[in-house]
Amino acid sequence: MSTPATTPLTAGTRRLIPLNHALPWIIAAVCLFILPYVFDSRSALTIMNQMAITIVFALSYNMLLGQGGMLSFGHAVYMGLGGFFCMHLLNWVEAGLWLPLPLLPVFGGLFGLFFAFLIGSFSTRRAGTVFAMISLGVGELVAACSVIIVIFFGGEEGISGDRTMGPEVLGWDFGPQEQVYYLTALWLLIAALGMFLYSRTPIGRVANAVRDNEERAEFLGYSQRHVRWMSFMASGFFAGIAGALFAINFEILTEENLNLTTSGSILLVTFLGGVGFFVGPIIGAIVFTLLQTVLSLYTEIWALYLGILFVATVMFFPGGLAGLLAMHVLPWKLGKIGHLVVPYAKMLIPALAFVLSAAAVLEILFHKRHAGLGDHEMNLYGITFDSHGAMPLITVLAIAAVSLFAIVKLAPGLKAAWDDATHMGGHHG
């Protein structure tokens, strides 16, 4: 048998950052602490909270996809159910139940775990395609139930509550956004550390083994089904924590928190960041949240760009962003990372020109088709022009063609520089 081609799904064996030392974690904690002083606007806090929640969710998702080789199209279920349960808890707190807010995520996690236990009992029998399809079906089932079981899901308007009704902790009532940020950041650290440590336990390692070779693992005494089921429950637990953090931040949960769109976008986030690395989903969540926020400010067709980016990632960089970074570890170790600076800089100009002009083509076409009747005036990159005229379209098409030509011309040089930088010794022959 030939060695199977390296798949992007090989987390746990490669690393980008030595997370088994305390230092990266301390740096992360310090960064989380000072971030609100750097970005102190209300919207920045909201975005950072959003990011933190997405990171926890994406990390929990990667426990399945990256660590366990299980592709889920219904992971939002566990985050959503955890969140809904926490929303009810908050309402009970309002009615007199004693529960400090910082402990809420524990219960969200346990609720997620409970449902992962139930659903995992039949969904983890197989990996691969069957698991993926079952996760999709269960996801749709739960999402559809949200309009039927109104008492728990609140129907179409969802369930809302008030996070400030619990006992104060250290003088905080968690009304201000900033206090919520620190609570979220604390739980982000706890959850990330928990998931990292989990990957270093016997069950975490065996999850990798089952992912890579389930038959072999069975002949070493491990039931592949039980191993997957345990990974699934652990993942459900941390997804539930993410759900609780969502409940605390937004104080409302709706059907949207359960549906396929949410499940799909976490797959997008995780894959974009890189499933092969523990830090991949973290990078993915940060980049995705930023991209989404920025792009949606400037263009209506941001989702199209994200779709293109995702498909391109799957096709050309299946290791994701973390994989791209990891490719540069070798040149770095060889002390040749400097050799890449000039070729990269050369490539950057036509690449940027190509991306911007291609986007311009799409924008102009979109404007032509969908702008109001008689609205021909369009503003792009600070230039105002008539979107229905031929000139602008021809211009951007020409720029795109020229920059593409330049990219093709420069590619061999870049390839040579890369080969040189990844090999020991002198210049590549």
Partner 1 sequence: MSVPAIELRGLEKSFGLAKIIQGVDLKIDKGERHAIIGPNGAGKSTLFNLITGKYAPTAGSVHLHGQDVSGKKPFEINRMGLSRSFQITNIFHNMTVFENVRCGLLWSMGYKYSFWHMVNGQRHLTEKADEILEQINLTSRRNVVAGALAYAEQRALEIGITIAGGADIIMLDEPCAGMSHSETDLIVDLIRKVTEGKTLVVVEHDMGVIFDLADRISVLVYGEIIESDTPENVRASKAVQEAYLGTTLEDAG
Partner 2 sequence: MSLFIVNILDGLVTGLLLFMLCSGLTLIFSMMGVLNFAHASFYMLGAYFAYQISLFSGFWLGLIVAPIAVGVIGALIERYGLRRVHKYGHVPELIFTFGLALLIEEAVQFFWGKSQQAYEAPEALDFAAFQIAGNTFPAYKLFMIFVAMGLFLVLLYILTKTRVGMTIQAALSYPETVQNLGHNVPMVFMGVFGVGTAMAGLAGVIAGPVLGTFPGMAFLLGSIVFVTIVIGGLGSLWGALIASLLIGWIQTFAATYNVRMEDILTSLGFTKPEPIWDSAWQDLWTLTLPQIGPILPYLLMVIVLVVRPQGLFGKRET
Query: Which residues of the chain form contacts with partner 1 (CB under 8 A)?
Result: 1, 3-4, 6, 10, 13, 20, 197-198, 200-206, 208-209, 212-213, 215-224, 226-227, 230, 234
Which token pair is 29?
Answer: 């904690």
Could you tell me if 84 and 159 are in contact, meaning their C-beta atoms sit under 8 angstroms apart? yes
Q: Which is nearer to partner 2, 365 or 411 (CB)?
A: 365
Position 39: which residue type?
A: F
Q: Which is nearer to partner 1, 8 or 82 (CB)?
A: 8
Cβ partners under 8 Å of residue 418, min gap 6: 340, 343
Closest approach of partner 1 to the CB of residue 216, in Å: 5
Q: Which is nearer to partner 2, 90 or 138 (CB)?
A: 138
Position 125: which residue type?
A: R
Q: Which is nearer to partner 2, 86 or 275 (CB)?
A: 275
How far is Cα 75 from Cα 59, in angstroms, rounded to an integer?
12
Q: Which does 260 bind (CB under 5 to 8 A by kind): partner 1, partner 2, none?
A: partner 2
- Nearest Cα to Cα of residue 250 among 61, 79, 78, 40: 79
Q: Which does 221 bind (CB under 5 to 8 A by kind): partner 2, partner 1, none?
A: partner 1
Cα-based angle 232, 233, 239 (whole degrees, multiple of 5): 90
- Kindly report the backbone phi and psi dihedral angles of residue 385, in degrees, each rounded to the nearest multiple of 5, phi listed first: -155, 175
Closest approach of partner 1 to the CB of residue 343, in Å: 28
Q: Which is nearer to partner 2, 122 or 381 (CB)?
A: 122
Count CB-CB contacts under 10 A for residue 224. Answer: 22
- Kindly report the backbone phi and psi dihedral angles of residue 342, in degrees, each rounded to the nearest multiple of 5, phi listed first: -65, -50
Residues lying near partner 2 in the complex (CB under 8 A) are found at 4-9, 65, 69, 71, 73, 122-123, 125-126, 128-130, 132-134, 136-138, 140-141, 144-145, 148-151, 260, 264, 267-268, 271, 301, 303-304, 307-308, 310-311, 314-315, 318, 362, 365-366, 369-370
How far is Cα 99 from Cα 107, in angstroms, rounded to an integer?
10
Q: Which does 209 bind (CB under 5 to 8 A by kind): partner 2, partner 1, none?
A: partner 1
Q: Which is nearer to partner 1, 216 or 428 (CB)?
A: 216
Which token pair is 189?
Answer: 């650290």
Closest approach of partner 2 to the CB of residue 340, in Å: 25
